[in-house]
Chains A and B, each alone.
Chain A
Amino acid sequence: MAAMRGPQVMAKRFQKRDKRFLGIGAQGAIKGFFGGNALLSIAILLLICVFLGKEAVFFFPKHHEELELYRESGQEYVDSMKRQVEGHAELNGLVAQAYYAELDEIAGKERSIVEAFGAIVDTGEDLGEDEIDDWADARDDLEDARDDGDAAAIATAQQAEAQARAAWAAKLGAITPELRRGEVDSYGRLTDADWEQLLASLGEWDPVEEEPPAMVEEAEAALKRKMTSFGDARDAFATAVSDLRQLKERLRGIAMDVKDEAVADQTAAARKAALLAGAEKAVQAEDRQRRLDEAAAIVIREKFPFAERTAVFYESKPEHAKVAEEYLVKFDAALALLPVAPGSPEAMAKLETVREKAPDFRSDFQRYSAAVQEWTHDKPYGWFKSLGKFFFGKDWVTNSSWHDFYGLLPLFTGSLLISLIALAVAVPFSMGAAIYVNQLAHPWEQHIIKLAIEFVQAIPSVVLGFFGIMVLGTFLRDLSQVEWLSWVPGFPMQERLNILNAGLLLALMAVPTIFTLCEDALNNVPKAFTEASLALGASKLQTILRVLLPAAISGILAAVLLGFGRVIGETMVVLLVAGNKIAIPDFAAGIGVVTQPAHTMTGIIAQETGEVDPGSLHWRALFMVGLILFAISLFINWTAQKIIHRFRIA
């Protein structure tokens, strides 16, 4: 019995006492509140995923369709030729640069003399216009008088001519001091002696017959002598591609028309329906008639006759084969003509690059030739290929009248490069700062450093971007133009807004994140470890390197990853500072690649979303980029979590 009574008494004693409202106790309400918050965040995450996914997912089918049209209309065919011409243009650009470098190097003085004289002539003819005219007239009069054979007239004319000549000479004397040497000799290559000589020789200059002084004539001759062979080679190189370019231009127009018509065809039914509907509603009879006529003019075809319209491309295949073959012969010949050992090191380097690139270019060229020959309008476009065109496409070209390309690669490379630079700068800095603050600093130093880093975090990114444009960009460019720094790869930089600039600013934004997380990681290392190490006679540095950092490594890795996530998702700074050039940076420049401008995944979304039609392919492409960014961020965070769990100290 006692055993029976026991629990009953207990039950009475420990009854629930919390007050209930609508049947929910305080405990339940608290649980519900926190649970609800958690649920909300999950719901929002799902909502974002669904929204992004919904808008993005239809990108691929539509993109595929566009690519099929690209093939059917013959644009693909023409683009193969375009790539050939572009490949040539790239090399040609190098040759031209080499030519001018060489010109400057071996004939710099002659070139300067000729140019300076040209500038002087301009000024002289400008200021002494009247005198020159008078002198010319006087000479004509003298001529006439001589023809007439009238001695008195001759004498007068001679006198007048001498006067006009003197007037010109006086004018010239007045002009000469006014010539600003810096402007006339813009390269500053002429020595004082050269300059004096040039001014002195102006006396021989006949502005009427436009004959230059002997000194200038000599310079011109020397210039021609020195540069003829290179000049010829350059011309041969430049003109080699003419035929191919002409063929391409001709076919390009046709492909364009075919595409426009095909697109019009696709919308024909819709337009016809709209016109008919409009006609029904039209009040005035003639208005209605006009619409009906227009509607009647629209032919709805079952299928656009691509085969018929693109016949011309098939016909042009043999012509292309011939032109391409001729081109290669001309190319080889021109390549052989280029000087092997020019005097200028820069020209030498440029030509060397041309020769190095030539084999690749040649094989690319032949590949494109093969693509031209193999092209057929009705070969189905592969799904892998259309996916590849997005993920690995090298062009992002939008709003083009020709064809829009949506290739992720330039944007992805830009984002990645900028982020990597940011990390390369931010990681050592923040790790060093974290170690210093955690291990070596005085309390007041700790305080100041932490405070400063918190302030950095508080800078709005648009302000940082502004700073990047106005201050850092200018500073970097000025720095890159310092003579004795020219050995640094990528210096002097062409662009003020570039990958480096954006990367440095993003580093500034990543430092607080990485620093704080690193410091936490170091703090989480039990003091017992460092104490044990010190008690064994290790120095502070040894302790940091051998005990502290290895023990904190997982936290540090996670910090770096999260810093990476922070910078790759950053938008404002890169949009303002990265230069926004949509092209894969030229990695041939080595480390100097960082001084080139680039565009980013975040930047392109911010820049283009406002201007596109909702629902268009371009719009969906931007959503797809957003989705990929989102996936990258999720992946980074997930990995960071994994790392922290994996290496956690027991």
Chain B
Amino acid sequence: MNDIDLDPVPAATGDDAIPVPDEPASETIIEIENLGFSYDHGKTETLQGISLEIPKNMVTAFIGPSGCGKSTLLRCLNRMNDLIDTAKVTRGTIKILGQDIHAPDVDAIELRKHVGMVFQKYNPFPKSIYENVAYGLRIQGVQKKSTLNEAVERALVQSALWEEVKDRLADSALGLSGGQQQRLCIARAIAVQPQIVLMDEPCSALDPIATARIEDLITELCENYTIVIVTHNMQQATRVSARTAFFYLGELIEYAATDKIFVKPDKKQTEDYVSGRFG
């Protein structure tokens, strides 16, 4: 398992070669511009004018002290914050694939089919393993058995769970171990083949071995998916992500290639935080 730590992150290496590391190498998939967000009808802003471009098919990490708004920003990206009555976007725009996601003709439900999410605490449905993975397709109206079987298998293989569960697909998902359940949640999210997968501290409830497997998985997945991951684990950020954004008190302090953030950040705050001297 040790070799994982040493594994070079493919995208990061690519970035290193480019002299101007602040410019993303590949095309941008998410553009956040001057985003302001409030949980209380606009009285106080939890996010204050965030501007950020997230490149396609790479892993981007959000780091920052607790309460700085990482999850909030992540949940803005698939409009999960719509579920909170008092919450609202106060200014700015988010464009995904060039489309403003708050435009009046955009349906949050459609959006979420393209922007999947994996939660901090693994939360498979109290259904069978198979039904968990097939859920996203079923709600999209897919009924054909062969299509479903194929999609389920593909998602489970991609999330490196297939070998472990292929003989017990009909068993309850709640009988899996924590790490397996989290990988199942990833499989469930990627079964519908979203373009983007948002992960909010996906490993915080897992032991080091399960964490390593998920990290492995993330590095593999970024070939096909754009991944945005929130993490408190600095090593994890360096291991999996190509680019890292550091937030503090609702503001984006610094955003650059991961190596740069961790080796030679521009801002003092960033340096303090990543080196653990943060007060």
Contacts and interface: CB of A to CB of B under 8 A. Distances in A.
Interface in B83-98: 83, 85
Contact of B80 (A535, A547, A550): A535
Contacts of A398: none
A538 B139 contact: yes
A536 B126 contact: no
Interface string A514-552: 000000000000101101111111110010001100110
Contact of A536 (B83, B116, B121, B127): B116
A532 B192 contact: no
B109 A535 contact: no
A485 interface: no
Contact of A535 (B85, B117, B121): B117
A649 B85 CA distance: 29
Q: Size band of the B side of the interface?
A: 20 to 34
Interface string B97-127: 0000000000001111100110101011111
B69 to A, nearest CB: 19
Interface in B62-98: 78, 80, 83, 85
A646 to B, nearest CB: 13
Interface in A534-579: 534-539, 542, 546-547, 550-551
A533 B131 CA distance: 12
Given A531-B80, A532-B185, A542-B139, A537 B123 contact: no
B139 A537 contact: yes
B188 interface: yes
B139 A531 contact: no
B249 interface: no
A538 B83 CA distance: 13
B125 A532 contact: yes
A650 interface: yes
A536 B263 CA distance: 37
Contact of B109 (A532, A537, A546, A547): A537
A536 B80 contact: no
Nearest to A536: B136
A537 B140 contact: yes
Given A528-B121, A531-B119, A537 B136 contact: yes
B80 A650 contact: no
A30 to B, nearest CB: 37
A650 B135 CA distance: 20
B174 A649 contact: yes
Nearest to A540: B109
B189 interface: yes
Contacts of A650: 126, 174
A281 B142 CA distance: 98
Nearest to B82: A534
Q: Which interface residue of A442, A537, A542, A650 has the most chain B CB atoms within 10 A?
A: A537
A539 B141 CA distance: 12
A528 B124 CA distance: 9
A178 B139 CA distance: 77
A537 B78 CA distance: 10
Contact of B127 (A442, A528, A542, A550): A550
Contacts of B113: 536-537
Contacts of B126: 529, 550-551, 649-650
Nearest to A542: B139
B128 to A, nearest CB: 12
A537 B191 CA distance: 12
B125 A547 contact: yes
Given A542-B139, A546-B135, A536 B189 contact: yes
Contact of A546 (B111, B139, B189): B139
A447 to B, nearest CB: 14
A547 B173 CA distance: 14
Nearest to B110: A537
Interface string A618-650: 000000000000000000000000000000011
Contacts of A538: 109, 135-136, 139
Interface string A245-274: 000000000000000000000000000000
Contacts of A536: 112-113, 116, 135-136, 139, 188-189, 192
A550 B126 CA distance: 9
A486 B218 CA distance: 68
Contacts of B80: 531, 534-535
Contacts of A534: 80, 83, 112
B260 to A, nearest CB: 32
Contacts of A546: 135, 138-139
Contacts of B124: 532
A546 B137 CA distance: 13
A534 B138 CA distance: 13
Given A532-B185, A550-B126, A650-B174, A537 B112 contact: yes
A539 B109 contact: yes
Given A537-B139, A537-B140, A546-B139, A532 B123 contact: yes
A537 to B, nearest CB: 4
B98 to A, nearest CB: 20
17 contacts: A442-B85, A526-B123, A528-B121, A531-B83, A532-B123, A532-B185, A534-B83, A536-B113, A537-B110, A537-B139, A537-B140, A538-B136, A538-B139, A539-B109, A542-B139, A550-B127, A649-B174
Pick the 9 closest A-B CB pairs, nearest first. Answer: A537-B113, A528-B123, A535-B117, A537-B112, A536-B136, A538-B139, A532-B123, A542-B139, A650-B174
Given A533-B135, A535-B119, 7 more contacts: A442-B85, A532-B124, A532-B188, A533-B139, A537-B113, A542-B139, A551-B126
